[in-house]
């Protein structure tokens, strides 16, 4: 069962993305390897120290490793589009390109002596930046490769932010050091270390461009096309505005309302059948926080089982309170309410999706 049109609408995705409606079960991660060969059969004199040292040569390669990784492609692309400010560049011939440009900003907070964040006057903090990022989703024989690349270079260390200068920005590499001697002319064993180079040094040593460096540290998620009759292919949620004072949260699997689909029979992205889930309302307001251990940073929370009624009555006020008898949430101005649901823990993997609503304007947005 599926309603793909509904899934795309709830995830706020163009219809073209229906092409990647499947599962991700594997990912490939890459890393730049620096091979260091210290040849003790060819000793040379160091002109500075006058000592004889082994001839040392460096070569570079990109390694790849594949691992299990569960995800739903439509949810992944929705998260990249709506939560990381990426834009769609093209959707031609079933190939998709998303991009986020380089951006500069200021850090207008600082830690005080007690480790608490203190706000600074706007624009007066340290200058920092976020590098460009790109996603290319390309067809393969079995589905799609979902490729993620981003600009290399560390922009902060121990609270100090670096300018966008390749002579200052740095990146560590994996170095494998091999020792060649007369008794081991073809060494295979190596010691591992992680030296740091500025981006300028790294480009000079490898001959790589900025793009090639990004690809050397890229991640590829493997999209496989599967049947919606047997597999969960996407999850989504909605907040239905019943009337001006009442809302209702809804959970969807494959675009079908959870109560109308036997979702626990569907195979999840981590090869097990879907477990049951819990629903949550979470109210966010900068002036109010729930006391105690509040991992969500919210002003109010409510948890519900998957089969409970998620209807919630709303009332405008100047504080946060909840009347369990009337099931009414009183909220102040500038409040944002989230409805989300989360599948119960399964081998350490919790899959979740949500929708947020601005209670002042009653406008909704993706919350992933």
Residue 121's CB is within 10 A of a number of other CB atoms, namely 7
| 69 and 128 in a common domain | yes
Q: Which of 172, 193, 224 is the last residue of a domain?
A: 224
Task: Extract the tokens encoding 206.
Answer: 């490898």
Q: Which of 224, 249, 271 is the last residue of a domain?
A: 224
Q: Which of 224, 252, 285 is the last residue of a domain?
A: 224
Candidates 69, 34, 89; CA nearest to 201 is 34
Residue 208's CB is within 10 A of a number of other CB atoms, namely 19
| 270 and 131 in a common domain | no
Residue reference for tokens 């919630």: 312
| 215 and 72 in a common domain | yes
CATH of the domain at 270: 2.60.40
Residue reference for tokens 């200068």: 165
| 203 and 93 in a common domain | yes
Candidates 249, 299, 298; CA nearest to 277 is 249
Query: What does the alpha-carbon distance between residue 310 and residue 327 come to, in Å, rounded to a whole number?
Result: 10
Residue 280 lies inside a defined structural domain of this protein: yes
Residue 4 lies inside a defined structural domain of this protein: no
Residue 258 lies inside a defined structural domain of this protein: yes
Residue 2 lies inside a defined structural domain of this protein: no
User: How many domains are contained in the chain?
Assistant: 2
Residue 322 lies inside a defined structural domain of this protein: yes
| 122 and 65 in a common domain | yes
Residue 84 DSSP class: S
User: Residue 271: left (phi > 0), alpha (psi -120 to 50), or beta?
Assistant: left
| 359 and 330 in a common domain | yes
Cross-strand partners of 99: 87, 134
By CB atoms closer than 10 A (0-12, 13-18, 19+), residue 3 is middle
Residue 297's CB is within 10 A of a number of other CB atoms, namely 9
Q: What is the pLDDT of residue 294?
A: 66
Residue 8 lies inside a defined structural domain of this protein: no
* Per-residue pLDDT of the chain in tens (368 residues, 90 and over written 9): 899 999 999 999 999 999 999 999 999 999 999 999 999 999 999 999 999 999 999 999 999 999 999 999 999 999 999 999 899 999 998 999 999 999 998 888 777 777 777 888 888 888 888 999 999 999 999 999 999 999 999 888 777 787 889 999 999 999 999 999 999 999 999 999 999 999 999 999 999 999 999 999 999 999 999 999 999 999 999 999 999 999 999 999 999 999 999 999 999 999 999 999 999 999 999 888 876 656 678 999 999 999 999 999 999 999 999 999 999 999 999 999 999 999 986 555 678 899 999 999 999 999 97
Cross-strand partners of 348: none
| 166 and 241 in a common domain | no
| 87 and 121 in a common domain | yes
| 316 and 199 in a common domain | no
Residue 133 lies inside a defined structural domain of this protein: yes
Q: What is the pLDDT of residue 221?
A: 98
Q: What is the pLDDT of residue 345?
A: 67
Q: What is the pLDDT of residue 125?
A: 81
Q: What is the pLDDT of residue 122?
A: 84
Tallying the residues shown for the chain, one arrives at: 368
| 41 and 63 in a common domain | yes
Residue reference for tokens 């070569």: 59
Question: DSSP characters for 243-303?
Answer: ETTEEEEEEEETTEEGGGS-GGGSB-TTSSB---EEEEEEEEBTTB--SSS-TT--SEEEE
- Owning domain of residue 58: 23-224
| 137 and 39 in a common domain | yes
| 156 and 293 in a common domain | no
Q: What is the pLDDT of residue 291?
A: 67
Residue 336 lies inside a defined structural domain of this protein: yes
Task: Extract the tokens encoding 269.
Answer: 């992205």
């Amino acid at each position: 069962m599926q309603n793909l049109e509904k899934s795309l609408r709830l995830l706020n995705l163009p219809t073209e993305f229906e092409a990647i409606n499947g599962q991700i079960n594997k990912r490939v991660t890459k890393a730049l390897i620096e091979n260091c060969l210290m040849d003790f059969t060819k000793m040379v004199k160091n002109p500075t120290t006058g000592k004889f040292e082994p001839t040392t040569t460096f070569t570079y390669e990109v390694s790849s490793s594949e691992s299990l990784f569960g995800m739903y492609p439509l949810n992944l692309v929705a998260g990249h589009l709506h939560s990381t400010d990426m834009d769609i560049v093209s959707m031609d011939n079933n190939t998709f390109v998303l991009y986020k440009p380089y951006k500069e900003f200021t850090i207008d907070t600082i830690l005080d002596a007690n480790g608490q964040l203190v706000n600074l006057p706007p624009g007066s903090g340290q200058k920092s930046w976020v590098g460009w990022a790109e996603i290319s989703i390309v067809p393969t024989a079995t589905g799609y490769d979902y490729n993620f690349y981003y600009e290399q270079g560390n922009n902060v260390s121990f609270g100090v932010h670096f300018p966008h200068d390749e002579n200052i920005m740095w990146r560590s590499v994996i170095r494998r050091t091999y020792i060649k001697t007369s008794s081991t002319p073809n060494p295979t064993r190596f010691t591992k270390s992680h030296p740091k180079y500025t981006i300028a040094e790294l480009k000079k040593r490898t001959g790589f461009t900025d793009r090639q460096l990004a690809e050397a540290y890229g991640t590829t998620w493997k999209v496989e096309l599967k049947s919606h009759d047997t597999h969960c292919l996407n999850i989504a949620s909605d907040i239905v505005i019943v009337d001006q004072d009442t809302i209702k949260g809804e959970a969807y699997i494959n675009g079908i309302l959870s109560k109308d689909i036997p979702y626990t029979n569907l195979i999840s992205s981590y090869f097990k059948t879907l477990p049951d889930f819990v629903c949550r309302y979470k109210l966010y307001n900068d002036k109010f926080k729930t006391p105690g251990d509040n991992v969500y940073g919210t002003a109010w929370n409510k948890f519900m089982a998957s089969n409970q009624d998620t209807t919630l009555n709303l009332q405008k006020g100047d504080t946060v309170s909840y009347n369990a008898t009337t099931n009414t949430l009183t909220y102040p101005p500038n409040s944002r309410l989230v409805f989300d649901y989360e599948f119960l823990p399964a081998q350490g993997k919790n899959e979740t999706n949500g929708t947020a609503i601005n209670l002042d304007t009653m406008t909704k947005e993706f919350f992933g």
